């Protein structure tokens, strides 16, 4: 196994590492056992793996080979539509039936949906048991597995039920990205583009200059992108664990992105694809407000599109605007919106008007019709 990089995540309530490298899946068992003081090898603790059938078929044998004890596998079908409280209830019952107790450990083995649900499952079972993140998609590695946000969707909106609950550790194996469909790789990379826009100009510059290598799946380039994205998020979470202020900048593109996902029933676009359209809208508002220059706007738009192609979808601009009113970042009835302020900086604003959003949504839908791919 090649050398790994460890990035510390420290908050008032948690202290853990994100480990990034290759060959990590087979090493997860030994690393988790070390974190638990040898309890797995001694037979004192049980392991439950929450995963999808697709991930388990490809990577399950490698994960199992490194575990000192045979895990109980809890299976969740792939797809955002399964990220619901009904799934959590089923998994809670399966944990109880499997004899899970407060010393048991969960392993989230999959993409962002699996990670979000496993974290919420861990937070609620017996009022909290330990869990580990083993993200297998780029989006999960660079974003959702880090920072302790867990949750599920309600009919009213995305991630409206959840908890802040940190893992014991995160193990991001770059090897797992080899089996990702190209669309999922590109969708995940949009979260790294976001990271560069809001707080890390050097990362943005790297993704601009080395887009060919990154999109080709070169492991060194991907490892650098993942590590820099995680470091940026770790710094933000350290400063604002519970999204009281600064952490909200991590949601650039997500206000309209979540509205797009809801309007299309979570079936048309991948999360990163929806966020990409939302970022294009946010960049346009920032230009209209004079927060970014025309040159900065054009460069950000170009890089976002580079990590496309962006998929076409159908939605009514008025419905998208209405759905933004249900965003969980909103406070006291005011819509919170994250806008770039140059490249490598962002600001949270609460004065984006309905007229402004409507104009931007209409502009975005015109772009979808002109440039979106089927």
Catalytic annotation present for 238:
no
Phi, psi of 195 (to 5 degrees): -60, -40
- 166, 186, 224, 247: which is the annotated catalytic residue? 247
- 186, 233, 297, 341: which is the annotated catalytic residue? 233
Catalytic annotation present for 254:
yes
Catalytic annotation present for 297:
no
Query: Do 149 and 167 meet the contact criterion of CB atoms below 8 Å apart?
Result: no
Catalytic annotation present for 319:
no
- 224, 258, 297, 341: which is the annotated catalytic residue? 258
Question: Residue ranges of the alpha helices (H) in 290-336?
Answer: 294-306, 317-324
Query: How many C-beta atoms surround the C-beta of residue 170 within 10 A?
Result: 25
Q: How far apart are CA 115 and CA 250, in angstroms?
A: 18
Query: Do 128 and 155 meet the contact criterion of CB atoms below 8 Å apart?
Result: no
- 271, 297, 328, 329: which is the annotated catalytic residue? 271
Catalytic annotation present for 127:
yes
- 19, 80, 243, 273: which is the annotated catalytic residue? 243
- 186, 194, 224, 254: which is the annotated catalytic residue? 254
Catalytic annotation present for 247:
yes
- 97, 127, 294, 370: which is the annotated catalytic residue? 127
Q: How far apart are CA 51 and CA 64, in angstroms?
A: 13
Catalytic annotation present for 243:
yes
How deeply is 208 buried, as exposed, middle or buried, from its count of CB atoms within 10 A (0-12, 13-18, 19+)?
middle
- 80, 158, 251, 296: which is the annotated catalytic residue? 251
- 80, 184, 191, 273: which is the annotated catalytic residue? 191
Q: How far apart are CA 188 and CA 271, in angstroms?
A: 8
- 149, 166, 311, 328: which is the annotated catalytic residue? 149
> Which residues have a Cβ under 8 Å from the Cβ of 155 and sit 6 or more positions away?
none
Query: Do 47 and 105 meet the contact criterion of CB atoms below 8 Å apart?
Result: yes
Q: Provide the annotated active-site residues.
A: 127, 149, 191, 233, 243, 247, 251, 254, 258, 271
């Amino acid at each position: 196994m090649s050398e790994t990089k460890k990035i510390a995540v420290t908050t008032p309530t948690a202290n853990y590492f994100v480990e990034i490298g290759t060959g990590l899946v087979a090493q997860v068992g030994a690393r988790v056992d070390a974190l638990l003081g040898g309890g797995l090898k001694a037979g004192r603790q049980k392991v439950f793996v929450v995963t999808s059938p697709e991930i388990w078929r490809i990577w399950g044998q490698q994960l199992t080979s490194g575990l000192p004890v045979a895990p109980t596998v809890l299976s969740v079908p792939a797809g955002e539509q399964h990220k619901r409280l009904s799934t959590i209830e089923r998994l809670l019952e399966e944990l109880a039936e499997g004899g899970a107790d407060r010393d048991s450990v969960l392993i989230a083995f999959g993409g962002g949906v699996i990670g979000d649900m496993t974290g919420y499952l861990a937070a609620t079972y017996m009022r909290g048991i330990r869990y580990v993140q083993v993200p297998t998609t780029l989006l999960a590695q660079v974003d959702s597995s880090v920072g302790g946000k867990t949750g599920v969707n309600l009919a009213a909106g995305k991630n409206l039920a959840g908890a802040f609950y940190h893992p014991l550790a995160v193990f991001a194996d770059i090897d797992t990205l080899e089996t990702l469909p190209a669309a999922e790789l590109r969708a995940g990379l949009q979260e790294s583009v976001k990271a560069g826009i809001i707080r890390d100009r050097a990362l943005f510059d790297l993704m601009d200059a080395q887009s060919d290598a990154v999109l080709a799946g070169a492991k060194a380039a991907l490892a650098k992108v993942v590590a820099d994205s995680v470091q940026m998020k770790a710094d933000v979470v350290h400063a604002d664990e519970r999204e009281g202020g600064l952490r909200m900048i991590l949601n650039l593109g997500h206000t309209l992105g979540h509205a797009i996902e809801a309007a299309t029933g979570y079936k048309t676009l991948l999360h990163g694809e929806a966020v990409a359209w939302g970022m294009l809208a946010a960049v346009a508002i920032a230009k209209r407000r004079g927060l970014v220059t025309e040159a900065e706007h054009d460069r950000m738009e170009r890089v976002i599109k580079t990590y496309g192609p962006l998929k076409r979808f159908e939605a009514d601009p008025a419905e998208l605007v209405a759905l933004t009113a249900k965003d969980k970042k909103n406070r006291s009835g005011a819509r919170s919106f994250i806008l770039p302020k140059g490249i490598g900086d962002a600001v949270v604003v609460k004065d984006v008007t309905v007229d402004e959003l409507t104009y931007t949504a209409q502009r975005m839908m015109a772009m979808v019709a002109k440039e979106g791919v089927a």
